[in-house]
Amino acid sequence: MSAPVVIIGAGPAGLSCARDLAAAGRELVIIDDNSRAGGQYFRQLPDSYRVVPDARLMRDKARFDELAQVLALPGVRWLPSATVWGRPADRTVAYAGPAGSGRIEASAVVIATGAQDRALPFPGWTLPGVITAGGCLNLAKAHGLVPSGRVVVAGNGPLVLVAAATLIAAGANVVRVVEARSDLRLIPAALAGALAAPGILRTGIGYRNLIRKSAARFQTGRMIAGAQGEGGLSAVGIAPVGADGRPDRSRTEWIEADTLVTGYGLMPGTEAARVFGCRIAHDPGLNGLAPWRDTTLRTSEAGIWAIGDGAGIGGVEVALLEGWLAAAAILNQPAPAALLAKYRRLDAWRRRLNLAYRMPKPLVAATPDTIVCRCEELTLGRLVSDPNHARGHLDALKISSRIGMGRCQGRNCLHSAAVLLGLPEDSFDTHPRSRPPIKPLPLGLIAADADAGPATEPDEIDMPARAS
């Protein structure tokens, strides 16, 4: 019997890839650290929850149900609540979870680990009542929870519209929606979307119409300047974006609010790809660091594919198509011409949209007293004064300051720190090495696996040629 294909991640990309592979008779192991399949887009309510017939949060349920059928097929091993933590050998996946730990030798590995929120530190961002857009959508979809009181949604990128419209549809009192990018800068990308992705464009227009018909005021060209409150959020400061990417604090408007939802973009989650030794390249059209891939979506490592938002921000439609294309490549079958043409149109458009939302200067709202690394409670002033700051890379700064050494392992702070300290985001030195375990785990779950496997030292990060 041949070794199974291991798919890391049971979101849209992972499930669409699994469906085609299972249909062709391939043995599969699907691993996800969530208790239920679906990823962020198809995030499911627990079985004990009751869903009312007109629930807006559960749209696309039929599409998920169709995809999720693969989990019950013969030859498919489904490992929920399990974390892939390392690569002990080539195409060997080490995993651990409450139900057991182990290693799997795979014929192919598909990395479909999704994206993560891009943090924007600002004065008051650690107050109770301040939450990221991704976290807010997870609460809404996974638990049916929406914030009470006055809600402000602010950020930069399509997630601002998604979060605001989702909350409004769920009954939240959204009073202000703030987008840093000017609408005029987005018009060319929107027009291109009318041809490449008319369905997605209609959805975006629907979000805008829903916001317009609500009591929320929509503003562009503005960003968060700060948040205030005693023991919890009470007011949000909104200011025009200056030419330097900083808020014009002299024109700050303070808005009473009980909840602030921040959505300053998504980044591909590349930790697994880096630990597996895949070459990583910085691509602004994909919203940051992403695995290098060939035309079949295979990475630089033989037998390893990367798909979905973990390989470049593109949304659910791109993720589904990439799952199908990766499955065809693993099966050594040519991709259907119509499918490939559709993917190329969507891929070109998502890159154009990502670039359209990109600001001329990185957005910066932190002051010297603002905490940057929440785990270690490190302020911007503390990082700037660190002797290793002058060395120009985060690896040395991590050693002396402990930035990125907390539970999040730098996922929430290292990118923000690089921007705030003026480090080039496409520089290898900006990003310390990824090492197993990829995510923190109780020692008892992995104690039997003494050999965590090699760390790629350093893992490869391409630096694109700079314009002269």
Task: Give residue 429's identity as a one-letter amino acid code.
Answer: D
Six-digit token pair at 122?
Answer: 């600002």
pLDDT digits (tens, 9 = 90+) for 302-344: 999 999 999 999 999 999 999 999 999 999 999 999 999 999 9
- Among residues of the chain, what percentage have pLDDT more than 90? 60
What pLDDT does residue 454 have? 54
What pLDDT does residue 431 have? 63
- Token pair 């041949």: residue: 2
Residue 213 has pLDDT above 70, yes or no: yes
Task: Give residue 369's identity as a one-letter amino acid code.
Answer: D
What pLDDT does residue 425 have? 63
CA distance 108 to 115: 22
Most confident of 145-149, 347-351, 432-436: 347-351
* Cis bond upstream, residue 436 (ω within 30): no
State pTM to two decimals: 0.91
Residue 459 has pLDDT above 60, yes or no: no
Beta bridge partners of 247: 241
- Taking the CA atoms of residue 141, residue 145, residue 149 and residue 154 in that order, the dihedral angle to the nearest 10 degrees is -30
CB 268 within 8 A of CB 288: yes
Looking at the domain covering 119-264, what would its CATH class be? alpha beta
CB 310 within 8 A of CB 273: yes
Six-digit token pair at 411?
Answer: 């996922």
Beta bridge partners of 304: 109
Residue 462 has pLDDT above 70, yes or no: no
Assign 51 to helix, strand or coil. Answer: coil
Instruction: Please tell me the least confidently modeled range out of 128-132, 160-164, 446-450.
Output: 446-450
For β-strands 222-228 and 217-220, DSSP reports them as: unpaired
CA distance 80 to 32: 5
Instruction: Please tell me the least confidently modeled range out of 188-202, 228-242, 298-312, 361-375.
Output: 188-202
Domain 5-116+267-333 grouped into CATH 3.50.50.60: yes
Distances (CA, A) of 161 to 5, 284, 415: 37, 21, 23
What pLDDT does residue 142 have? 74
Residue 65 is given by DSSP the state: H
The more confident residue out of 389 and 242 is 242
Residue 199 has pLDDT above 90, yes or no: no
- Taking the CA atoms of residue 354, residue 359, residue 362 and residue 368 in that order, the dihedral angle to the nearest 10 degrees is -120
Residue 458 has pLDDT above 50, yes or no: no
Task: Delimit the domains of the chain by residue range.
Answer: 5-116+267-333, 119-264, 371-446
Assign 464 to helix, strand or coil. Answer: coil
CA distance 281 to 288: 8
**98 Cβ contact list (under 8 Å, min separation 6):** 81, 445
Conformation bin of residue 440: beta by default, left when phi > 0, alpha when psi is -120 to 50:
beta
The 10 Å Cβ neighbour count of residue 283 is 18
Q: Rounded to the nearest 5°, which phi and psi values hold at 270?
A: -105, 5
pLDDT band at 141 (very low <50, low <70, confident <90, very high): confident
CA distance 60 to 27: 28
Domains 5-116+267-333 and 119-264 share a fold: yes
pLDDT band at 405 (very low <50, low <70, confident <90, very high): confident
Q: Rounded to the nearest 5°, which phi and psi values hold at 282?
A: -90, 125
**405 Cβ contact list (under 8 Å, min separation 6):** 375, 376, 398
pLDDT band at 460 (very low <50, low <70, confident <90, very high): low
For β-strands 235-240 and 222-228, DSSP reports them as: antiparallel
CB 126 within 8 A of CB 371: yes
pLDDT band at 227 (very low <50, low <70, confident <90, very high): very high
pLDDT digits (tens, 9 = 90+) for 32-48: 999 889 988 888 766 66
Cα atoms in the 13 Å half-sphere on the side-chain side of 152: 26
Q: What average pLDDT does this structure show over 285-294?
A: 93
Residue 446 has pLDDT above 90, yes or no: no
CA distance 272 to 459: 12
Average pLDDT for the chain: 87
What pLDDT does residue 468 have? 36
CB 403 within 8 A of CB 394: yes
Q: What average pLDDT does this structure show over 272-280?
A: 92
What pLDDT does residue 443 have? 78
